[in-house]
C-alpha cells in the first residue's frame, strides 16, 4: 500500500503559533509594587521590541491609570473576558503604546470571584482565553489582585512563571510562605509546569541592614530547595532590585509609564535592566532599546554636558493627570527646561560636569565605618520560620 505524504503547506499551517510567555506578578499583600512593575516592566519589554500584553486582574483597576486611559461604560473589560464565553482577547484589548496592549479591569471585578466560583472549570478560564494570544504576543504580564482567591488562581493556572514583587522586610518574608503554598497547590493539579522565577524587590533601600539581612535569609532559604521537586527550586532574588524612586510614584498621575515620564531616572534604569536580564534568560532579543527617549536623552546629555543631571524629556506643563488632587510634582526637571545654553561661570561648569558631587564628605568615613557592622549582623538575625511546606 502506498503511503500518502501530507503536503508541506498543510504541515506548516498545522503547527500552532508559539504561546506567549505568561508571567503572574503575585503577592497577596497590597501596595508592594505589583502594578508599578507590571506597567513599567511591560513598557520596557515593549521598548526592547517585543509584543507585550498586560492584563489587570485587580478590582482596584489601577493599571489603566498608568496609561492615562479613562474607562467608559461601553468598554469591555477583563470581567467580560472571564465571564462571557463568547468574549475573546480581541474584544477587550486596548493599545497603550506601540507594542504594548492591555486589558483593563473594573471595580466590580471583586464580584467576579463569586460568579467565577459557580462556573465549571473556573480556574482555567483565563488560560483558555489566552490561547488566542498565541503568535500575537511574546510576553503576557498578569497584574494580580492582593489576595489568593479565584482570580489569582486563574492567573497561576495560566502562568508559566511567577514573580513576587515585595519589600525586603521581615513581615513580607513571612507572607511568602503562604504564597508559595498556593503556588504549590496549583502546581500539584491545575498547572504542573508553573515555576516561581523569583522575588522582585520593589521600593528597595539597599543601604538598610535589615533589607540585606532579609535578602540573605531569602537566598539561604531558596538554596535549601535547589534539589527539591517544588515550583520554587530555581527561585532567586531578581536583579536589579527596583530602588525606591519618587518618579515611579509620580508617573501614573500624569498617565505615563516611567519611560515616558522620566526615562533617565533610577526607576527607569532599574526596570530597563530587569527587562534586559529577563529577555536574556528567555533567549529573546535585547538588541535595541527602541532608539527612543533613553537613547535620545543620553545623546542630548553627551552633546550638552551642562544639562547632565536632567532628563531631556521633562514633564510637559500640560499634564494628562486624571487625579486632580495629586499635587504637581515639584521636580527640578519639571521646573526648568533641559538645555542650558547660557555661558556658565567656571566653577559652576566644573560642578555640573562632575558625575556625583558629594556635598558632605564627612558622611563618608562614618558610612564606611558602619558597613562591616551591618554585614556582620546580616543573615543570622532574621527568622523566617522557614519556607518548608
Ligand X SMILES: Nc1ncnc2c1ncn2[C@@H]1O[C@H](COP(=O)(O)OP(=O)(O)O)[C@@H](O)[C@H]1O
Interface with ligand X, residue 172, by CB under 6 A: no
For position 167 contacting ligand X by CB under 6 A, the verdict is no
Work out the angle at residue 179's Cα, subtended by the Cα atoms of residues 132 and 184, and round it to the nearest 5 degrees.
Answer: 70
Please tell me whether residue 267 binds ligand X under the rule CB under 6 A.
yes
Counting contacts by CB under 6 A, is residue 33 touching ligand X? yes
Q: Cβ of residue 58: shortest distance to Mg ion, in angstroms?
A: 5
* Footprint (CB under 6 A) of ligand X, residues 44-83: 62
Give the shortest CB-25-to-ligand X separation in angstroms: 8
Query: Which residue, 220 or 246, is less far from ligand X as judged by CB?
Result: 246
62/209 with CB nearer ligand X: 62
Rounded least distance, CB 144 to ligand X, Å: 9
Q: Of Mg ion, ligand X, none, which one does residue 105 interact with (CB within 5 to 8 Å by kind)?
A: none
Q: Should residue 87 be labelled a site residue for ligand X when binding is judged by CB under 6 A? A: no
CB of 187 to Mg ion, least distance (A): 24
Stretch that binds ligand X, among 151-159, 176-184, 216-224, 241-249 (CB under 6 A): 241-249
Q: Determine the interface stretch with ligand X among 2-10, 126-134, 240-248, 312-320 (rule: CB under 6 A).
A: 240-248
Instruction: Tell me if 242 contacts ligand X by CB under 6 A.
Output: yes
Choice between 56 and 217, CB closer to Mg ion: 56
Q: Which H, E and C letters describe the chain, residue by residue?
A: CCCCCCCHHHHHHHCCCCCCEEEEECCCCCCCCHHHHHHHHHHHHHHCCCCEEEEECCCCCCHHHHHCCCCCCCCCCHHHHHHCCCCCHHHHCEEEECCEEEECCCCCHHHHHHHHHCCCCHHHHHHHHHHHHCCCCCEEEEECCCCCCHHHHHHHHHCCEEEEEECCCHHHHHHHHHHHHHHHHHHHCCCCCCEEEEEEECCECCCCHHHHHHHHHHHHHHHCCCCCCCCCCCCEECCCCCECCHHHHHHHHHCCCHHHHCCCCHHHHHHHHHHHHHHHHCCCCCCCCCCCHHHHHHHHHHHCHHHCCCCCCCCCCCCCCCCCCCCCCCCHHHHCCCCCCCCCCHHHHHHHHCCCCCCCCCHHHHHHHHHHHHHHHCHHHCCCCCCCC
CB of 60 to Mg ion, least distance (A): 6
Single residue of 20, 23, 26, 35 touching ligand X by CB under 6 A: 35
Stretch that binds ligand X, among 29-37, 120-128, 227-235, 316-324 (CB under 6 A): 29-37
Q: Which stretch binds ligand X (CB under 6 A): 5-13, 26-34, 271-279, 329-337?
A: 26-34
Only segment of 28-36, 153-161, 223-231, 286-294 that touches ligand X (CB under 6 A): 28-36
Binding footprint of ligand X on the chain (CB under 6 A): 30-36, 62, 146, 202-203, 242, 244-246, 248-249, 267
Amino acid at each position: 500500500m502506498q503511503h500518502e505524504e501530507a503536503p508541506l503547506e498543510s504541515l506548516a499551517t498545522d503547527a500552532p503559533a508559539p504561546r506567549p510567555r505568561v508571567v503572574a506578578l503575585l503577592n497577596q499583600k497590597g501596595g508592594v509594587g505589583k502594578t508599578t512593575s507590571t506597567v513599567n516592566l511591560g513598557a520596557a519589554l515593549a521598548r526592547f521590541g517585543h509584543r507585550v500584553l498586560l492584563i489587570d486582574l485587580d478590582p482596584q483597576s489601577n493599571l489603566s491609570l498608568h496609561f492615562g486611559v479613562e474607562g467608559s461604560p461601553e468598554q469591555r473589560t477583563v470581567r467580560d473576558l472571564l465571564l462571557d464565553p463568547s468574549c475573546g482577547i480581541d474584544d477587550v484589548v486596548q493599545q497603550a503604546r506601540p507594542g504594548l496592549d492591555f486589558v483593563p479591569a473594573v471595580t466590580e471585578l471583586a464580584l467576579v470571584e463569586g460568579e467565577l466560583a459557580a462556573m465549571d472549570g473556573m480556574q482555567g478560564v483565563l488560560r483558555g482565553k489566552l490561547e488566542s494570544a498565541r503568535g500575537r504576543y511574546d510576553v503576557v504580564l498578569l497584574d494580580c489582585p492582593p489576595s489568593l482567591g479565584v482570580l489569582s488562581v486563574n492567573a497561576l493556572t495560566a502562568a508559566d512563571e511567577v514573580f513576587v514583587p515585595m519589600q525586603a522586610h521581615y513581615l513580607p518574608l513571612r507572607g511568602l510562605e503562604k504564597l508559595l503554598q498556593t503556588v504549590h497547590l496549583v502546581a500539584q493539579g491545575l498547572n504542573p509546569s508553573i515555576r516561581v522565577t523569583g522575588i522582585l524587590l520593589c521600593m528597595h533601600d539597599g543601604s538598610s541592614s535589615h533589607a540585606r539581612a532579609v535578602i540573605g535569609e531569602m537566598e539561604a532559604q531558596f538554596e535549601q530547595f535547589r534539589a527539591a521537586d517544588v515550583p520554587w527550586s530555581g527561585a532567586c532574588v531578581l536583579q536589579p532590585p527596583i530602588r525606591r524612586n519618587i518618579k515611579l510614584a509620580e508617573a501614573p498621575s500624569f498617565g505615563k509609564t516611567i519611560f515616558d515620564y522620566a526615562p533617565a531616572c533610577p526607576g527607569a534604569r532599574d526596570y530597563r535592566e530587569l527587562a534586559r536580564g529577563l529577555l536574556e534568560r528567555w533567549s529573546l532579543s535585547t538588541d535595541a532599546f527602541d532608539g527612543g527617549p533613553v537613547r535620545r536623552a543620553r545623546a542630548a546629555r553627551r552633546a550638552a554636558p551642562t544639562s547632565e543631571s536632567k532628563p531631556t524629556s521633562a514633564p510637559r506643563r500640560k499634564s494628562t493627570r486624571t487625579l486632580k488632587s495629586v499635587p504637581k510634582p515639584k521636580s527640578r526637571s519639571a521646573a526648568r527646561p533641559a538645555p542650558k545654553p547660557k555661558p556658565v561661570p567656571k566653577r559652576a561648569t566644573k560642578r555640573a560636569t562632575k558625575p556625583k558631587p558629594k556635598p558632605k564628605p564627612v558622611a563618608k568615613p562614618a558610612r564606611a565605618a558602619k558597613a562591616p557592622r551591618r554585614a556582620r549582623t546580616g543573615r543570622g538575625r532574621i527568622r523566617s520560620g522557614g519556607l518548608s511546606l
